[in-house]
Structure 1
């Protein structure tokens, strides 16, 4: 039985969120965190036209390339207890989102929180890393984007 080979990620990666039209977002790869996280603000619940509760957020900060300040609405979301990096348990909204690494889409849970005081707006946790069969080399950075750039350059030469 052949096992799929594991792909290498660095301690920092640039990721894309195709459904949100966001590309090249800096992410910290954190094997100590179970759930991935993405920075957002103005998190609130509204009622849609069918009188259902929907989650409304603004992803990233206005200064981030691709972030246009438009609110995003999620009909499917959960409220979960998430343990923060300082050990404190916080109740956070969690959504399912597609993140792109090595040009491949991976669906994962992302907790929504204000990460404005953090260096990286996205955190990639173990649940995502395990499903994609990744290993992490903390001495490396941006391996996924570099591999995609090399592949694009090879295609351009043909």
Structure 2
């Protein structure tokens, strides 16, 4: 019989990666109050590829780097943010790397401008594998801070 308890302890903030999107490191808030993950995008646009809906988007993962990405749209649905505001968001599925563990998760694309963390990791991504210790942070290493400018630093 296997132990059903989570085996990896994470802090309330951690460094995560999105390997399928070529984003090796992002600062993320671990938020068990949120159901899904949210990724800050600077811009997003919709298009069709072979008749299938896709989304293009720009992210600033840190160090002044800006990356333009694209992914198939998995879903589009209403989300209620922490302030109680409702809005329709695009969802995609991709791999999330947290504490050396990779799993496929659902991520919605959001405008998190003004938030301290470009990524929010919700409880569905944590379920069964992770336990959160809210007294700790960056247990598994730090990610670069997001630049306030999109220009590379000398």
**Shorter-chain TM-score category?**
0.7 to 0.9
Instruction: Give yes or no for contact 2:78–2:89 (8 Å, CA) kept in 1.
Output: yes
Q: 1:88 to 1:4 in 2, by over 3 A?
A: same
What aligned pairs does 1:27-66 form with structure 2 within 5 A after superposition?
27-48=28-49, 50-60=50-60, 64-65=62-63
Stretches of structure 1 that go unaligned for 5 or more consecutive residues are 147-158
Higher strand share: 2
Q: How many residues align?
A: 141
TM-score, normalisation: structure 2? 0.82
In the aligned structure 2, how far is the partner of 1:37 from the partner of 1:112? Answer: 6
CA displacement 1:67-103 (0-9 Å, x = unmatched): 4332x22223210111100112211001111111122
Residue 130 (structure 1) aligned with residue 127 (structure 2) = yes
Cα offset for 1:5? Answer: 4.8
Residue 76 (structure 1) aligned with residue 73 (structure 2) = yes
Cross-structure match for 1:120: 117
Q: 1:67 to 1:78 in 2, by over 3 A?
A: farther
Instruction: Give yes or no for contact 2:12–2:135 (8 Å, CA) kept in 1.
Output: yes
Cα offset for 1:55? Answer: 1.1
Cα offset for 1:4? Answer: 5.0
Relative CO higher for 1 or 2, CA cutoff 8 Å, sep ≥ 6? 2
In the aligned structure 2, how far is the partner of 1:136 from the partner of 1:75? Answer: 31
In the aligned structure 2, how far is the partner of 1:94 from the partner of 1:84? Answer: 15
Stretches of structure 2 that go unaligned for 5 or more consecutive residues are 143-154
The SS at the match of 2:29 is strand
The SS at the match of 1:128 is helix
Higher helix share: 1
CA displacement 1:99-154 (0-9 Å, x = unmatched): 111222111111101111101000010101114x21111111112338xxxxxxxx
In the aligned structure 2, how far is the partner of 1:144 from the partner of 1:4? Answer: 22
In the aligned structure 2, how far is the partner of 1:37 from the partner of 1:67? Answer: 19
